[in-house]
Amino acid sequence: MAALAFALGSSLLWGIADYLGGLKSRSFAVPVVLALMYLASLLAMAVFVLARGEGPPGSESVVAALCAGLVGIAALAAFYQALAIGTMSIVAPIASTGVALPVVVGIAGGEHPGLMRSIGIAAAIGGVVLASREQDGGVLDRRQQRQSILLALVAGLGFGSYFVGAELASRGDVAWSLLLSRVSAVPVICAIALLVLRRGGRLPRGRTLLAIAGIGLLDLGANAAYNHATTLGDLSVVSVASSLYPVTTVILAALLLGERVRGVQRGGIALALAGVLLIAAGR
């Protein structure tokens, strides 16, 4: 139950971070927003790890953490860009199904979720897909559609790969896995952000800058909860519970922005929550 609680906590924090980060990305370039988020989380983790005074884990965990950071930032950038140019009803379901990868890896590694939990996993994944669906706001040209679908596929593969890599890295040490994942990601996203700024992109200042840094800390908290959850429970269960973040984002958009939650989305939320209950009750 503790693993499920931490996984659901990570899902909640990721959903809030995605909602707030999505709002900021409407005003500022995605690489700039991501760079500031990751710089804030890198600083926080560096202070924490140095204050704790424990050395890094073994080489396997270090490599896994570095790789997880690279695929994680690539996935997030691809996802944000896909949402910017594509249709949410196509992009979000494709990207969210990336959770199937850690489920397959977990079961292939010898995990046995049982019948009830297996049904719960399937229901939760299906619920996330349905909850992520939005009404098509317009007709896109075929080139944009192809680009958004390709980016969504990249994002889904990246998210699934991050879940697997973060689990491997956390076997050594959760704090170091979080720090190292940002050590590898920050130079890449900052380099891209600098190119965007040189080409006329705007840099957030004042309260907006602090707000984006705060979003980065929310994202860090989500990652910390997920990484810790993987040390307590099965990857196949934890990854699915952590992937419920689109439900949070949809609910926040409905409550705070007045966006309409259609029947299919309400059904998806109910199905996802039913899946969580089955996972919690199963063995």
Spell out the residues 6+ positions from residue 223 whose beta carbon is closer than 8 angstroms to its own: 10, 166, 178, 181
Contact 245, 125 (CB under 8 A): no
Q: Give the three-class secondary structure for 174.
A: helix
pLDDT of 194: 96
Q: What share of the chain is helix, strand, coil (3-state, %, to 5)?
A: 80, 0, 20
Digitized pLDDT (tens) for each residue of the chain, 283 residues in all: 788 899 989 989 988 988 888 788 878 998 999 999 999 999 999 999 999 999 999 999 999 999 999 999 999 888 777 766 765 545 666 677 677 788 778 878 877 777 777 787 788 777 777 766 655 555 556 777 678 778 878 888 898 899 999 999 999 999 999 999 999 999 999 999 999 999 988 999 999 999 999 999 999 999 999 999 999 988 878 888 887 777 777 778 778 877 666 777 778 777 877 876 676 665 5
Q: Shortest CA distance to 33 belongs to which of 204, 263, 198?
A: 204
Q: Which two tokens stand for residue 4?
A: 């499920």
Instruction: Write down how long the chain is.
Output: 283
Measured between alpha carbons, how far is residue 274 from residues 58, 121, 122, 236, 283 in Å?
39, 10, 11, 17, 16
CA 62 to CA 183: how far, in whole Å? 11
Measured between alpha carbons, how far is residue 17 from residues 182, 204, 222 in Å?
17, 17, 9
Instruction: State the helix-helix crossing angle for 114-131 and 100-108, rounded to 10 degrees.
Output: 160
pTM score, two decimals? 0.82
Q: Shortest CA distance to 9 belongs to which of 262, 267, 238?
A: 238
86: left (phi over 0), alpha (psi -120 to 50) or beta: beta
Measured between alpha carbons, how far is residue 188 from residues 39, 104, 181, 272 in Å?
11, 29, 12, 35
Q: Where are the alpha helices (DSSP H) in 53-87?
A: 59-85
